[in-house]
Structure formats: structure tokens, C-alpha cells
Amino acid sequence: MMDRRLVFPLLILALILAVLVSLSLGRYPVGPGDIFRFASHELFGVGDGQGMDQLRTILLYIRAPRIVGAMLVGAALAVSGAVLQSIFINPLVSPRMIGILAGSSFGMSLGTVLGLSWVAVQSVSALFGIVAVLFSVMLARLYRGDRVLLLVLGGIISTELFNSLFFLMKYLADPYRQLQLITFWFMGGFSLADARTVFVLSVPITVGMAILLILSSYLNVLTMGDEEARSMGVNTTLLRTVFIIVAAVISSLTVAVCGMLGWVGLVIPHMGRMLVGPDNRVFLPVTIVMGAMYLLLVDDLSRILFDVEVPLGILTALVGVPVFALVLRNARKGWQ
Amino acid sequence: MTELLRVEDVHFTYASLPVLKGVSFSVEKGETVSLLGPNGSGKTTLLKILLGLLRPRSGGVFLDGAPVGSIAPKTLAKRVAYVPQVHRMAFAYRVKDVVLMGRTPHKPFFSRYSAEDREIAHQALERLSILHLGEKRYTEISGGERQLTLIARALAQGADALVMDEPANGLDYGNQVRLLEHIDDLSRDGYTFILSTHFPEHALWIADRAVLLKKGLIEAVGKPDEVMHAAAICGLYNTEIDILTVEGGFKTCIPRAIVRRMNAGRGLRVLTGTPYVESAWRPEDAPKRMVR
């Protein structure tokens, strides 16, 4: 484990570097000098305006939304996975495993089929993300036994339920207008992420992450168990509900940007815990930065690896599986 | 002495099974009260009701005269703290962070722990002489050290009454003794303790008052010296015991069944250093004889 005070600044530095690298990557070569020239021109009006329009199009309108989107989604999935793992004291939980992503996928397809407005589709998606996680938790509560295992089973059942409802929606969708939209977006990826989507969704996701960070000390207390937490004057029912709903909402909203992305919400929390330990006051901000960086780098890979862009869902799994296998070796340290 | 807690005719039912059937006693400020009783006698339930974690079906618990149910959880937490049995913690928090959690009821809802909170947590660690454990992981320290950590957390919570559920459970003999020492030290500083225990000796040694609980009813309440005689303990646990008293009034229990086995049925023969024997099955026969 590294010194906790040192980790965060280092991660921020690495993230800034990753952003600069990502800005220069792509079909059209943009060097670090170009980025610097563009930034100083835009911010301080230094230098001549030669070639600036082209740079502005590439950097601001094409690459920046995609970079911001990737960071936003990575951060949201990672922190929501971290919160869910802490709150359920369960190392196997992630937003996808517990049914949230399936629920919000169904919500999105339902909204699309019903021809709702964009904002309404997002709301329905988030709503079904919440419904799906509550359904998993309720299923797990029905029976006595190993809590860790039962929640995983509840998540599998909930995921299957909403997956089949999702396919029902695909079946019902208008093949000319709606079906291809649903299908494309389900594969996952940022090629569909436009500036508007990213900008609008950045608000609720940022607010949600801020809430989780502000309440992080209570997350520690909640992991001590219900009775101990209550004996310390904590309203466990209220806080638990807030944590689960905020985690469900921010991870549901990522589905709108890039479809269903697994692994990020499972792998990054384990890596974060290995790096700084389980104290949520330090652990949550670290997972946010790590999640942002991870998805940004994986998205860079998907852009440059082959001539054709590889769907992100495939790459996150391909990168995530070996990483998780490595992490699993040490992941038990933070757990008892 | 002023009364701190009063338990008044508390009834509690768990899944239509009566657990407590009219329990009443009071706890004075600065007292150490020991709760004794066999498994399933309702000790843990009673402690949870004292902490406001469970609501009695009827009757009530009063803190300084106010019903515990009407006190805001945060306010109650600043007065009465819970020291659970040594447990396995899911996450390997640092010891000092575990103690810092005790400051939760004191901090404004949306703020972080202040420098003062950290200082108080530091003092709590110092008070229990476990400052050196501060940076260690809770999961890596011994059972005795964990128990002390949980007590330190209760001190950091600022409570003047500590409720402990079988604190000696899972501790080795040496750590049990050290735990009793710490409880006695804190008690001398004015802390009030309400603790359940499976060891009659522990009550005999450190308690100011013993509450004997059986099948949800109080069998006896009073000074351990007076109520914890051999027959009472025999009735409580359904096993015959002798109580030995050594000079200075220090007492200890010896189970009859074991003595009989070891001693070929001849009963307890005191060889050295045991001036007084109280026998379980014939308490009327137990004269106050001193063997020198």
C-alpha cells in the first residue's frame, strides 16, 4: 500500500497526462505543441489564428466530448461499483452484476420504443436502474443463507429479467427507425457520444459523485453493521437508501453515453482498494480518478489498435479480465 | 449517587416468543452493572433495548428520566455507546480510523472529521495505551487489541455510559484480565458500564451491581457479594458450584461437578490459601467458617 497522501496527486497528474495523450491521438496528427498553441490561443489570445479553426474542430468538437465522456463514464461506473461493494460488503458486486445496467438498458429501449423525448428516456432508464437494484436486494433478502452469494444470485435473476424485457423491446421496436438505434448503442462505445449528450449527463453524474464523496465517512460507519452504525447515531436506513439510489442513478446514466460496460465497476474498485486501502474517504476519490483514467486509456486503445474502431464493451472485457485475475491475487488483503 | 438509566417493566417479544417479561432495574452514574444469565435469557435483547436499537413492546428505558425512544439517535449516541463483541471486520480499516468513527455523532452532517475529532480519537487511543496500534489495520491486530480499539471508539464517542455485550468473548485469559483492568480503570474515572458476561467471576470481581436474568425475568438484583451466592448461580446456570472467598473478600467460583470428578467424590478440599468455602447445594450448611 502506498502513502495515501501521495497517491491522489500522482493519479491526478497521470490523468492529466492521459488526457493530453488522448487529445493528440487519432487519424489527424496533433502534436503536444499544437495542443499548447491552441490552448494559449483560446485562453489568452496568444499567437496567430493560423490553423486554429481546424484544431478547434478536431480538439473541441470531436475529441474533447469523447474524452470527457469516457472519463465521466469510467469514473461513474468505478465509484458506483466501489460504493455498492462497500455497502453490501460484497467483493463480487458491480453495477452490471447487480442488475443496474440491464435495468437501465431496458428503460432506454422502452423509452425509445414509446418514442419519448431524450430527457424522458434518460429518466426512465435511471428509474429502471433503481428498480433493478432494489429487485436484486429484495430477492436476496427472501432467503436465509450466505449474504454474499444470495446477492449475487439476486443480481443474476434481476439481470436476466431485464435482459429478456430488453429483448422484448427490441422485438417490438420499429425495425426502420428504432431497432438499429437500440442495437448500435447497446454494443457500447463512444462513437455515438456527442457533445450534447456528454454535457447534459455530466451534470447529474457530477452531482451524484459529489454526494457520494461528501457522505463517504458514513459509508465507513455503515460497513460496521447496522446496529453499530445506529449506536453511533447514524440513520442507517436513510443513508443506505441514498447510497444505493445515487450509485444506481449515476451508473444508469452511463448507459446512455456508451451502452452497457461491464468490468470497470468491478475491477477498478479492487485496484483502488489495493492502492489506498478500504477507507472510503480516500478510496472513493481514488476510484473516481482511476476509473476515469482506465476507460480513457481503453477508449484510446479502441481508437488506435485497428483501422476499424473496436466496440468498447469488447475491449473493456478483454483488458478487464486479465487485470481482474491479477488483482484478485491481492484483492483479499482489504477484505477479511 | 444519581440515577443514570432506569429500566421499567420492559416486555419484549421476538416473533411471538416472549423474550423479556417485565424487567426493571436502575443504573447509577459511575456504576458497573453486570448482566448474568444463561444463553437465551434475554441479555443481548435487554442491552439492545438500552441502546435504543430495539423498542420494548411495553415498559420503557429512561436516560436521566427521559424515555430513550424520545431521544434523538445522535444525542443518545453522545451519552451511551455500544461496545460490540470482538468481530471480524469486512474491511481492513486502520485502527485510528475505526476510533475516529466514534466522532460521527459529533460532526455536522455534511462535514468531515475536524482536527479536534482527530485529537479526541488520539486521546482515546492513548487512554487505553494502544497509541502504537493507530496505524495498524484492524484486521491484523489481536482479539484483545480489537476489543480495546472498540472501547477507544466508545470513549471517542464521548459517551459516559458504555454498553458491552459479552466483552470477554473470544479473548484469551490474559486479555480477559487486561480487559477487566481497563474497565475498572475507566470506572474509577467515572464511566458507567453495563455489560453482560458468561463469567460469574467477572461480575464478582468488577461489578458494583449484578442483575441475574433467567427466561426473561430478573431473579435477583443487588451487590454481587449479596446476590451472587452459590445457590443463586446454581439456579441460574443449572450447575452446582462453590464460591471461594480469599482474604480481602475476593471471590471465585469452582464447579462442583469437576471437583467431584477430580477428587473421587470427596468434595472440595481446601489445601492452601483458601479461607472460606461456600457450598452450592446446601447453602444453609455453609457456615461462615474461616480456615486458616
Q: Return the CATH number at A247.
A: 1.10.3470.10
Least reliable range by pLDDT among A185-194, A306-315, B188-197: A185-194
Task: Provide the phi-psi class of B117: left if phi over 0, else alpha when psi is between -120 and 50, else beta.
Answer: alpha
pLDDT at A330: 64
Interface pTM (ipTM) of the complex?
0.86
pLDDT at B263: 65
Tell me if A336 and B94 make a contact (CB, 8 A cut-off).
Answer: no
User: What percentage of chain A carries pLDDT values higher than 70?
Assistant: 93
For range B60-76, the mean pLDDT: 93
Identify the domain containing residue A13 by its residue range: 4-334
pLDDT at B229: 85
Q: Look at residue B31 and give its three-state secondary structure.
A: coil
Tell me if B105 and A223 make a contact (CB, 8 A cut-off).
Answer: no
- In chain B, where does the domain assigned CATH 3.40.50.300 lie? 3-228
Distance CA(A150)–CA(A155), nearest Å, equals 8
Residue A265 Cα, gap to closest chain B Cα (Å): 18
For range B29-50, the mean pLDDT: 94
Interface contact A336, partner B, CB < 8 A: yes
User: What percentage of chain B carries pLDDT values higher than 70?
Assistant: 89
**B3-228 has which fold?**
Rossmann fold (3.40.50)
Residue B91 Cα, gap to closest chain A Cα (Å): 5
> Is residue B282 pLDDT above 70, yes or no?
no
Domains in chain A, number: 1
* A234, A279, A335 ranked by CB distance to B104: nearest: A234
* B92, B113, B157 ranked by CB distance to A334: nearest: B92
pLDDT at A193: 67
- Return the higher-pLDDT residue of B250 and A128: A128
